[in-house]
Amino acid sequence: MRYFTKQQGQKEAVPVDLEALGGDRYKLTVNGVTYQVDALALEHGTMSMLVDGQSYSAEFEESGDEVGVLLRGQVSRFDVADERRLRLRAGTAAFSVEGKQLVTAPMPGKVVKVLVKVGDEVKEGQGLVVVEAMKMENELKSPKAGKVTELFAKEGTTVENNAKLVIVE
């Protein structure tokens, strides 16, 4: 099956083809490069994978068309759409972030630094808040250029998964 993924801050979607080979084996082609993947789903959205002989442990969290991935201590967010969904979007809207955007905590953790204040103008990809989770600091970035209209994050506080942190309009 073909998907199109766009990492937060990227301009264009990347084609991803996923083919089940039987059992826990897959052929994954990302932007024309093919990988052999053995994947074993563990509990709580964690997956143990062998990708071309390299071992990885990744945590996945889905929220609509968005998938959060924790890999090697770094959280990345991806917008994922299959070909049908992409065609539907093209008929109704651009493949970009528009309107009021809520930035949430990707997992439970502690707010260690707030990099903006209400009224600040921010660029797409600019850091907004740093959250420490699983002993790693993750800088959460603005999904669009705009203005910080609400700020829920406070340094030193703990946050739950999907807790509201910042709104950018």
* Same domain as 86, residue 6: yes
Measured CA to CA, the distance from residue 43 to residue 75 in angstroms comes to: 18
**Are 168 and 142 a contacting pair, CB within 8 Å?**
yes
Residue 42 has pLDDT above 50, yes or no: yes
* Same domain as 85, residue 11: yes
What pLDDT does 69 receive? 86
* Same domain as 71, residue 33: yes
End residue of a domain, out of 40, 59, 92: 92
CATH number at residue 141: 2.40.50.100
CB under 8 Å to 125, separation ≥6 — which residues? 8, 9, 141, 142
* Same domain as 139, residue 82: no
* Same domain as 88, residue 118: no
Mean per-residue pLDDT, 23-50: 88
Range of the domain at 128: 101-168
What pLDDT does 95 receive? 46
Question: For the ranges 44-48, 86-90, 114-118, which has the lowest average pLDDT?
Answer: 86-90
**Are 68 and 79 a contacting pair, CB within 8 Å?**
no
What pLDDT does 88 receive? 67
* Same domain as 111, residue 86: no
Q: How many structural domains are present in the chain? A: 2
Measured CA to CA, the distance from residue 153 to residue 157 in angstroms comes to: 8
* Same domain as 158, residue 138: yes
End residue of a domain, out of 42, 61, 92: 92
End residue of a domain, out of 92, 110, 129: 92
Q: Greatest CA separation found in the chain?
A: 53
- Using CB atoms within 10 A of its CB, is residue 90 exposed (0-12), middle (13-18) or buried (19+)? exposed
* Same domain as 88, residue 36: yes
What pLDDT does 96 receive? 56
* Same domain as 83, residue 14: yes
pLDDT digit string, tens, across residues 54-107: 899 988 887 777 888 888 888 888 888 877 776 666 665 444 567 888 999 888
Which of 160 and 9 is assigned the larger pLDDT? 160
* Same domain as 125, residue 151: yes
* Same domain as 119, residue 75: no
CB under 8 Å to 123, separation ≥6 — which residues? 142, 145
Q: Which two tokens stand for residue 136?
A: 């790693």
Mean per-residue pLDDT, 29-50: 87
